[in-house]
Structure 1
Amino acid sequence: MIVSDLNPSEDLHPWRRFVAIGDSFTEGIGDPDPTVPGGNRGWADRVAEQLASASPDFSYANLAVRGRLIGQINDEQVEAALELQPDLITLCAGGNDVTRGGNPDFIADELDSMVKRLSRDGATVVLFTGPDIGETPVLGTLRGRVAIFNENVHTVALRHDAVIADLWALRQLHQKPMWAPDRLHFSALGHHTIAAMVLDSLGVQHSLDPTTPEPAASTTWRQARAGDIDWAREHLFPWVMRRVRHQSSGDGVSAKRPLAAPVFGKANGPVPKD
């Protein structure tokens, strides 16, 4: 649902306070921007910018921290989010647990208890399915487990009347430009595409134009293997070593927007280039 211009005087949606909780996906990792709090923009900032453009008194907080497991999000972010008295909450949690071998059913049970708490005051809650990672190096082996988790997410959403933002169904995410160089997080273009999908799922008009990345340049077998080696050295090996050492990329990191505050953003900025 795209419009070329949004009139701030028009009441295009019912929400006045948006709080986002989760892990690196919601923090915006993969979409660096030194002009925003925390240095990463991401889909949640983009959604907040669009919602704020239609509501002068709109405020936004983002409590997400990279590397957090679902239990940590539950312990550290849920009550903090409720204290901000939001009427719109996005929750993406469980992805890190699935990639570390967690049982999708047990993860969903914890998600269910979180959504029950988050919706107690009547806030709209948005849940995310995991993306289809079948073609993704390393993570592709987890595709079946992600699919099971996604079915559980749909069940939780039905039980608590939550909105589903369906990353699995967003087929554009299969394209290479949608992913950051680490192949684990989304690029600026990926976050832009996801933000538009979230707003569409909420039935909100927005100015995020759809975009189709240019086809990836063809590479020789030798170039592709060299790229894989560089990626493994720069991104995969450090990720594996953190797992072995029981470390997290979020150690020492705090939420980038811990308080609900007005949004001064780029709602009508250019579409990111692939």
Structure 2
Amino acid sequence: MAGRFVAVGDSFTEGVGDSNVLYPNGVRGWADRMARQLGRHDPAWEYANLAIRSKVLDEVVTEQLDRALELDPTVVSFYAGGNDILALRVDMDSVLQRYEAALTRLVGSGARVLVFTTFDLKMSAMLEPLKRRIRFYNNGVRHLAALHGAQLVDHTQWREYDDPRLWSLDRIHMSRLGHKRLAGYVCDSIGVPHTLKIPELPDWEPRHWRQVVKEERVFLRDEVVPLVRRRMSGVREGDTLQPKWPDPVHPADGLKKLARQRAAEADRVAP
């Protein structure tokens, strides 16, 4: 049966890490991939994606929730709070209280609501406080999903995501392969057959400890330190972006084709 899938959230749902210049905002991601499968299953399916990178929970709720509910979704995905976890200071109890308020609104709409844990990656011991926040968040999401009748997509259960090849260099966003695998898992979770070709990766070869230490230093220098600086400066890439698919489209028409048409229309109306 066809319906309308509306995606709400931040970079996780926008598709950061799955770069593709043929898609709006230069990324594809699991939600676009899943929407394409919905369109293959039944051309009547519609899709909107309101997610924008960098957004904290309150911004996702304020900027996206009303619009999502106006669209009267059949299925709505909700992932928010990841950027709150990465904040320099955060009250995680408060985050989950506000998360629950948003979840209650979505479930009350009658839509099938999909919620997600965030993957607990193996990290440097220096980032143990971040890992504690992740575990707290994930336990809270599991509890709230069960309490309110949302459908949990528990990212942490798929241990193949321990493979670094499923993650981009920043270790925060999934790579193309990671997004593709997640799209398949979500299709499976809602009972929609898919044609996604997910390759089996050869075994990951353990690295010498010296190489591990070197990579950790590079990661802290090139990813963690710039992230902290951006957080302190308040400069965010998402502040200049618009949602990829703010109005429902039919993914059966081809999202790349729809993106070209939208870009051409924007060029016609531009001064």
Scaled to the shorter chain, the TM-score interval is 0.7 to 0.9
Q: CA 1:199/1:16 → structure 2, altered by over 3 Å: closer, same or farther? A: same
Q: Does 1:241 align with 2:200?
A: no
Return the alpha-carbon distance in structure 2 between the equivalents of residues 224 and 157 of structure 1: 37
Alignment of 1:1-274 (within 5 A): 14-100=1-87, 101-133=89-121, 135-137=122-124, 139=127, 141-216=129-204, 219-220=207-208, 223-263=211-251, 264-265=254-255
CA contact (8 A) 1:116 1:160 kept: yes
| Equivalenced residues, count | 252
Amino acid at match of 1:248: R
Q: Which runs of 5+ in 1 are unaligned?
A: 1-13, 267-274
CA contact (8 A) 2:11 2:53 kept: yes
Query: The residue matched to 2:239 in structure 1 has which SS?
Result: coil
Match of 2:263 in 1: none
Q: Which runs of 5+ in 2 are unaligned?
A: 257-271
CA contact (8 A) 2:96 2:137 kept: yes
Amino acid at match of 2:244: K
The alpha carbon displacement at 1:140 in A equals: 5.0
CA contact (8 A) 1:15 1:88 kept: no
Deviations along 1:25-75, one digit per CA (max 9) or x if unpaired, are: 111000101112221011111111111111111111111111111000010
Return the alpha-carbon distance in structure 2 between the equivalents of residues 222 and 154 of structure 1: 38
Query: The residue matched to 2:182 in structure 1 has which SS?
Result: helix
CA contact (8 A) 1:16 1:55 kept: no
Return the alpha-carbon distance in structure 2 between the equivalents of residues 111 and 219 of structure 1: 39
Return the alpha-carbon distance in structure 1 between the equivalents of residues 90 and 159 of structure 2: 26
More helix by share: 2
- Which 10-residue stretch deviates more, 49-58 or 113-122? 113-122
Deviations along 1:48-103, one digit per CA (max 9) or x if unpaired, are: 11111111111111111111110000100000111122111000111111222423
The alpha carbon displacement at 1:224 in A equals: 4.4
Amino acid at match of 2:98: E
CA contact (8 A) 1:31 1:186 kept: yes
Q: CA 1:65/1:139 → structure 2, altered by over 3 Å: closer, same or farther? A: farther
Q: CA 1:36/1:113 → structure 2, altered by over 3 Å: closer, same or farther? A: same
The alpha carbon displacement at 1:108 in A equals: 1.5
Return the alpha-carbon distance in structure 1 between the equivalents of residues 128 and 161 of structure 2: 14
- Which 10-residue stretch deviates more, 114-123 or 210-219? 210-219
Amino acid at match of 1:56: P
Amino acid at match of 1:67: S
Return the alpha-carbon distance in structure 2 between the equivalents of residues 140 and 174 of structure 1: 17
The alpha carbon displacement at 1:223 in A equals: 4.6
Return the alpha-carbon distance in structure 1 between the equivalents of residues 170 and 42 of structure 2: 36
CA contact (8 A) 1:105 1:152 kept: no
CA contact (8 A) 1:20 1:62 kept: yes
TM-score when normalising by structure 1: 0.84
- Which 10-residue stretch deviates more, 148-157 or 209-218? 209-218
Provide the alpha-carbon RMSD of the alignment: 2.1
The alpha carbon displacement at 1:157 in A equals: 1.3
